[in-house]
Amino acid sequence: MSKWYPKNGRVIFHVDMNSFYASVEMAFDPSLKGKPLAIAGNPEERRGIVVTSSYEARKYGVKTTMPVGEAKRLCPDLIVMRPNFERYRTASKEMFKILSDVTSIVQPVSIDEGYMDITQCEEQGSPPDIAERIQRRIYEELDLPCSIGIAPNKFLAKMASDMKKPMGITILRLRDIEKKLWPLPIEEMYGVGSKTADKLKKINIQTIGDLANHPVLELKQLLGINGERLQNRANGMDQRPVDPDAVHEFKSIGTSTTLPQDTTEDTEVRAVLRRLSNKVEARMKNKKVVAKNVQLMIRYHDRKTVTRSRQLKEFIHTSDDLFNAAIQLFDQHWSLDPVRLLGVTASDLAEQSQVTQQLDLFNYKEHADKEKLYKAIDDLTDKYGKNPFKAISVPSEGNVTTSFQKDFLDDYKKE
């Protein structure tokens, strides 16, 4: 057993759920199994975007971020469903509970993936045996498939979990990287996006092996410090620990939505920004944080995306303040082209309990009056179950967003 658990090394798992949203829907409704299925934000609209798809749909070329209309042209029998986030969160919570039965050193990184450090789990068996038990439990208890990567660090474990899907278990040791990792195309490397891949290809880096063996000075000139970091990863070096508390270290809270159709209507834009601001406020309130920066994302009809932010003089926490900052950014930076997607993000966060508002003689009464209003609204919300003023002024768009939040990922610990 000692060969699996080195004295000076680590044993890391990366657990990656396979086609998670589609798989959850199939588990909920078994009649969907074996059929081409896509989850999309606005399935009634041909411009809606595919969030994920089943492996049966992928055989036809259906991909994430593809417009629904294009997906249906590729796969005429495609079943398209709206996402059910509460259902996915419930499944995610149960999955992470299973992981935490093995070790307390579990780090969720998104709703459908996480890392585990099983270095101290030698008494439970070999890493492949533990991985098989985890995979089997998730499948038998939740009816969900997953792939697991086993490696001495997080980067290699992540790469390993992608090598065999669905229901794969892959071991990637340091001595294996030249044979298993280096031949892969550079765009398949975790941490290398399409823009970075294009830059690397211009200096004749086509594979991960090319990156691993390229002169580091040229990489730093091209990509800055990230060039050296990526080369270290390509050579199998990654010292990051599996950190169960990392999920609490969120640096921003944001949400976005794809509009049913591209628009230049100012009233529609304002209604969407109001809804997004309401959602961000609710999540900030849940986390008991305030923000000193608001960021706006605009994606146009041609997929060109711009982000602009505004640093504030004071911390804010209400949807009114978030909306006002967002709409000012929109008015300043909108190109007048049709808008496809909008996003609002609060950043530069601080805990409410640690922030002392420095009130002067001119704004003390304003803040005091606002707090009375907020308390009255909160009291009515507690009584009626929702904010009655928001219900009157803001039409609901349900829970459909195109960004999947991470600030619920420690919920599996709360029972």
Residue 112 labelled as part of a binding site = yes
- Best CA proximity match to 186, nearest among 250, 149, 233: 233
Q: What's the rounded Cα separation, in Å, for the pair 309 and 175?
A: 45
Closest-CA residue to 308 (of 275, 279, 268, 335): 335
Could you tell me whether strands 305-316 and 252-263 are parallel, antiparallel, or unpaired per DSSP bridges?
Answer: unpaired
CB atoms within 10 A of CB 290: 22
Q: Smallest Cα–Cα separation from 88: which of 32, 9, 33, 142?
A: 142
Among residues 250, 239, 286, 243, the alpha carbon closest in space to that of 108 is found at 243
Nearest to 34 by CA among 5, 2, 89, 77: 77
Instruction: Note whether 18 and 165 are within 8 A (CB).
Output: yes
First to last CA, the chain: 34
Rounded to whole angstroms, how far apart are CA atoms 87 and 92? Answer: 9
* CA atoms of 340 and 264, how far apart (whole Å): 9
Bridge-partner residues for 36, per DSSP?
none
CA-CA distance, 184 to 98, in Å (whole number)?
Answer: 32
Encoded amino acid at 193, one letter: G
**How many residues in total does the chain contain?**
415
113 in catalytic set: yes
> Is 348 annotated as ligand-binding?
no
3-class SS shares of the chain: helix, strand, coil, % to 5:
45, 20, 35
- Please list, in sequence order, all residues whose beta carbon lies within 8 angstroms of the beta carbon of residue 31, skipping any fewer than 6 positions away: none
CA distance 114 to 108: 4
Residue of 379, 396, 123, 415 whose CA lies nearest to 275: 396
Catalytic residue, from 25, 113, 187, 314: name it: 113
Tell me the Cα Rg of the chain: 24
In 3D, which of 38, 20, 56 has the Cα closest to residue 146? 20
Is the CB of residue 280 less than 8 Å from the CB of residue 253? yes
What is d(CA 318, CA 284) in angstroms, rounded to the nearest whole number? Answer: 9
Instruction: Indicate which residues carry an active-site annotation.
Output: 113
For the annotated binding site, the residues are 16, 112
Binding residues for Mg(2+): 16, 112
